[in-house]
């Protein structure tokens, strides 16, 4: 039966991918712009990386642009990054404007082309901590977590974990609930301040756990910035650079 052959091929390939990701250099939680950028930069340096995204569609807030006008804005300093990814764009009023679907698709393509598995529909419901350091993520199927089903998760070991889950900062909040770290409240919209803030504060929040992208603003109390994504990309690049130095 062809149907069984198809099922077997899917099961075999998926579980081979999962088995090869049980021990990682870096587990990135959240397939938004900062997480995908970090995965791309780390994969260029041959580190073993996987991305875990609880939604069905990776890409975070990129796709919808501003209010579903599917265009996004980036700072002109990221022109070389867009050229590297072969992303089309226009320069207007000292900013880069690019189609959000094109941008998200190109970033996802480059990440997966570099061999980084993106596990969509997988939630990180906890972290593993040993000797006062985050050393992995505890994962379950996204629908299982959303429905509150009593199904035990599995653990994936990693030298570093990146919380790129955006506004909720889901991973850091797991430690905050236990009193390991403190979180502040995200401030209202202010693109001028937010773009610099998110890059400046990107870094290690707890041994083995780093924050990037909008999770930075949720953790450190920075403002949100709407459909400008330069800070997200620069934050992803910075967190990749910090981890590379530590792994090296």
Residue-range domains of the chain with CATH: 24-67+100-247 (3.50.50.60)
Sheet containing 71-75, strands listed edge to edge, beginning at the edge strand earlier in sequence: 71-75, 95-99, 90-92
Q: Are 57 and 191 in contact (CB under 8 A)?
A: no
CA distance 231 to 195: 5
Best CA proximity match to 239, nearest among 162, 159, 145: 162
Asked if 27 and 156 count as a contact pair (C-beta separation under 8 A), the reply is: yes
Farthest CA pair distance, the chain? 60
| pLDDT, tens digit (0-9, with 9 covering 90-100), for 21-71 | 999 999 999 999 999 999 999 999 999 999 999 999 999 999 999 999 999
C-alpha Rg value of the chain to the nearest Å: 18
Distance set, CA 71 to CA 68, 85, 88 (Å)? 8, 17, 12
**Do 224 and 193 touch, CB atoms closer than 8 A?**
no
Q: What is the pLDDT of residue 15?
A: 96
Instruction: Decide if 74 contacts 229 (C-beta within 8 A).
Output: yes
Q: Which residues contact 166 (CB under 8 A, 6 or more apart)?
A: 30, 32, 60, 61, 213, 214, 215, 218
- The model carries a pTM of 0.97
Show the low-confidence residues of the chain (pLDDT under 70). Answer: none
CA 173/CA 88 separation, integer angstroms: 37
What's the confidence (pLDDT) of residue 248? 84
């Amino acid at each position: 039966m062809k149907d069984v052959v198809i099922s077997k091929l899917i099961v075999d390939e998926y579980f081979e991918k999962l088995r090869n990701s049980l021990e990682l250099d870096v587990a990135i939680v959240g397939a938004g712009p900062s997480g995908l950028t970090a995965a791309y930069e780390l994969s260029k340096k041959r580190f073993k990386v996987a991305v875990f995204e609880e939604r069905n569609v990776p890409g975070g807030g990129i796709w919808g642009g501003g209010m579903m006008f599917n265009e996004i804005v980036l700072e002109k300093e990221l022109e070389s990054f867009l050229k590297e990814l072969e992303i089309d764009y226009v320069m207007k009023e000292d900013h880069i404007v690019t189609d959000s679907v094109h941008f998200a698709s190109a970033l996802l393509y480059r990440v997966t082309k570099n061999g980084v598995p993106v596990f969509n529909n997988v939630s990180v419901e906890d972290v593993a901590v040993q000797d006062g350091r985050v050393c992995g993520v505890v994962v379950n199927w996204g629908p299982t977590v959303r429905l509150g089903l009593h199904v035990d998760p599995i653990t994936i070991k990693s030298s570093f974990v990146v919380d790129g889950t955006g506004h909720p900062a889901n991973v850091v909040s797991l430690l905050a609930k236990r009193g390991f770290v403190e979180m502040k409240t995200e401030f209202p919209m202010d693109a001028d301040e937010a773009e610099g803030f998110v890059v400046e504060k990107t870094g290690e929040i707890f041994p083995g756990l780093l924050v990037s992208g909008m999770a930075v603003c949720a953790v450190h109390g920075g403002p949100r910035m709407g459909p400008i994504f330069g800070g997200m990309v620069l934050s992803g690049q910075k967190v990749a650079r910090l981890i590379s130095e530590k792994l090296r």
